[in-house]
Chain A
Amino acid sequence: MAEGWSRLARNPAGLTGAVILSFLLLVIVAGPALAPYDPTTFHLTRRLEGPSLDFLLGTDQFGRDLLSRILTGARPAVLFGVGATALAVLGGGVAGMASGYVGGLIDEVAMRALDVVLAVPGLLFALLIVTVLGSGSANAMLAVAVSFLPGFARLARAGTLSIRERDFVAAAIARGEAHGYILRREILPNLMPPIVVEASVRVAHALMIGATLSYLGLGAQAPDSDWGLLVAEARDYLFRNGWLLACPALAIGISALGFNLLGDGLRDLLNPELDA
């Protein structure tokens, strides 16, 4: 483990990602407490102002403090990304492992069905699901999870297919172990590295799709301080207070970058072949 951390420290991309995410973690835990104002309080005399000592990032059309809104928006934004990805890993992982382990016709049918879903672009698929379920953060998260699920299922299945041919699995079968035991104790541990790497990159995607859905009015609802919603509300005021658009957009970008860089770092870390 200690060796792992030092290897991550020697990987500049991974290190940068880890630093960004540590900062993000701080904001998620302490953001609402750090916010100088209530994110929904109007300051009607101070509308659409640029940064000042009172309002470090300026104010929006109702005179709400932008910094406070971004800080309180971090938790739902990141939890959205992590939550959607976790759901997809769980669903896709179980489905992929089961399908790969069972094999045969079931595997064939399941994978062709997933191919069909994979053929639809992720954002489009998420839009479709939200349109059917109705807008809202929970539905948007579910939509992103469902659109990510086939990718993870594919990954888990591919891993399972190769691992189940290994000798230690054959040994376990020879020992007469139950299928559940083999899946949990023999296959799953060996599947985890690629899934963890994929998941960390996917979180960045989920975060951005979540912001996109909110921007389109299908995710979080006003007056939430969701980052995508902040960008959407700032559109009208682009020429009057550019900070309104730039700050939440940067927050989305930097967070996504953090997860992406960490994903790269983790891939290097968890992939022994690259160590040569």
Chain B
Amino acid sequence: MPTWKMSRRALMRASAAAVLAASAAGRGAFAATAGTPRRGGILKISVNARADSLNPMKPKSSAGHMAVELLYSGLTRIGTDLSAQPDLAESWTANDQATEFTFRLREASFHDGSPVTAADVVATITAIRDPASASPGRTSTGPIAAVEAVDDRTVRFRLDGSFADLPVVLGSVYTKIIQAAALADPAALETRPAGSGPFLLKEFDPGRILSVRRNPAYFDPERPYLEGIDQLVYPDATGEAAALINGDTDVLLEVGIANFDRLATTAGIVGERVATGNFLNLVMRVDTRPFDDLRVRRALAMSLDREALVEAVLEGYGRPADDSIIAPEASLYTAPPKAVYDPAAARQLLAEAGYPDGVEATLYAAAVPPLRTTLAVAVKEFASQAGFRIEVRTVAMDEYLANVFRKAGFYVGSWNMGVTQDFWYNTLLTSKGALADSGWSDPRFDEVIAAARRTTDAAERTRLYAEAQALVVSNLPYIVPFFLDRLAARRDYVEGLALHPLNQPYQLDRVWLGEGAPARQE
């Protein structure tokens, strides 16, 4: 495999480091680098699918998530460093076992002027936990046993087990606080918001436009800076890019890798890029030949040049990962040992495992996202140096879910970054994980993950997660070749756009329009 120049990757690392530094320093640092926020103006933002529902509890398209974030507030927000930050709750405390949390609410009001009270929080959380709600928030909010209003502005959560991450997961888009009275009519919530968010709904024409205007009674006297936001639907990626180039829209939040350079070099458009923990993984079922042998899994891992994969599959828009599903952006992170690239040693290892003449394997990839097939083709080519003869099979998504996921011995997975380390570890890798798909299980691993849930001491939790990660990386149920970057583009007058390592939140209440913005006042 030929080598190539390092300049682009060096540049990439530098920019990723800059992003990390900015997120560590938080909001203050961001504002300082980008000038003083200005008030006013309507931001036009494009989305590729309509906002299907405005009900915070329902699963939604990303446009729907964005709308809910504009219209509702949660108890907490998830900061760019993935820590819990105050939103409706101005402070909170937990007991030592992390089984009881008390949140203190700030003075805030719903869009109709009535105050946000503890009773609204209790009603919302109760509704989410009702199985009838079918809310994704029901399972992701941890083992909540009871939630009660201590007084008008104090809420107490009692948990069945320890769950130190509660304040973080309560910042999710599914746990926005809904006015208690509005919960009686879930159908109305689809189109009529009952929240306390930074923007008020002005117009909602699904499939065409969602228009919001500044909430003058929002509890933060400073934000939002914008007078309003128009979310416009462009189902076709080419049309969406053209709209940004023509100046019909100001922000394009999901830019494909192949289009990014072209957009970013267009005059008046700035490319935005942030490192995320979104990843693709090669799942090698540890109960299926030939990957039931750890030496075969390690041989495959050693045959892959991660830097080259980032370049070939992601065109440089990502970072090599070292087989841990936890990205450096996660809180309580410890770096795993660097993955070794050594095809000769890999071939040797394969011979020791009883495959001196190489080994055959079929690698399945779902057709969506297409990156899965691209990775599979690249892996086939790289791994052939170590003696792997891989056949790539691309299958439709429904076939993938029915016959490949959790069943086939070797396939490409694709996941977004988890809010907490606990989330993906508990979902994918513990013995009872809801989506555990590698066949690997280790009682010690389960124990460590449970222990990390029990303690609120950050240093101890960091140590525990490091141990869990070491167990995963040494047993190698997955090969995680890289973490993806998120790519977006904005007109150069759009300031304060802070891309998050998670797919949500969008943090549009921090955006303002600077010099050169078109006058779109009403």
Interface residues of A (CB under 8 A from B): 40-45, 47, 61-63, 134-135, 217, 221-223, 236-237, 239-240
Contact = CB atoms under 8 A, between A and B. Distances in A.
11 contacts: A42-B312, A44-B2, A44-B4, A44-B308, A44-B312, A61-B258, A61-B315, A62-B377, A221-B393, A222-B376, A239-B259
B379 to A, nearest CB: 11
A40 B384 CA distance: 11
Contacts of A41: 381
Contact of A217 (B311, B367, B392): B367
B392 A222 contact: yes
Contact of B1 (A42, A61, A135): A42
Contact of B373 (A40, A134, A222, A236): A222
Interface residues of B, number: 29
Given A44-B4, A221-B393, A62 B378 contact: yes
A62 B308 CA distance: 10
B376 A134 contact: no
B396 interface: yes
A45 B2 contact: yes
Nearest to A41: B381
Contacts of B1: 42, 44
Given A42-B312, A217-B367, A237 B394 contact: no
Contacts of A223: 377, 380-381, 392
Interface in B436-483: none
B380 to A, nearest CB: 7
B500 to A, nearest CB: 26
A250 B40 CA distance: 53
Nearest to A136: B393
Interface in B257-287: 258-259, 261-262
Contacts of A61: 258, 312, 315, 374
B399 interface: yes
A254 B392 CA distance: 30
Contacts of A40: 381
Contacts of A236: 256, 258-259, 370
Contacts of B5: 45
Nearest to B394: A221
Closest 7 CB pairs of A and B: A236-B258, A45-B4, A223-B377, A222-B377, A222-B373, A221-B394, A217-B367
Nearest to B378: A62
Contacts of A135: 394-396
A240 B392 contact: no
A146 to B, nearest CB: 20
A240 B258 contact: yes
Given A222-B374, A222-B376, 20 more contacts: A40-B381, A42-B312, A44-B4, A45-B3, A45-B5, A47-B312, A61-B312, A61-B374, A62-B377, A134-B399, A135-B394, A135-B396, A221-B393, A221-B394, A222-B373, A222-B392, A223-B381, A236-B256, A239-B259, A240-B262
Contacts of A63: 312
B394 A217 contact: yes
A43 B258 contact: no
A197 B132 CA distance: 64
Interface string B161-183: 00000000000000000000000
A63 B308 CA distance: 12
A134 B378 CA distance: 24
Interface centre among B3, B4, B376, B377 (most CB of A within 10 A): B377
B370 to A, nearest CB: 8
A232 B321 CA distance: 29
Contacts of B376: 222
Contacts of B3: 45
Contacts of A42: 1, 312, 378, 381
Q: Which of A41, A135, A237 has its CB near the most chain B CB atoms (within 10 A)?
A: A135
A61 B256 CA distance: 14
A20 B5 CA distance: 43
B7 to A, nearest CB: 12
A62 B396 CA distance: 23
B360 to A, nearest CB: 16
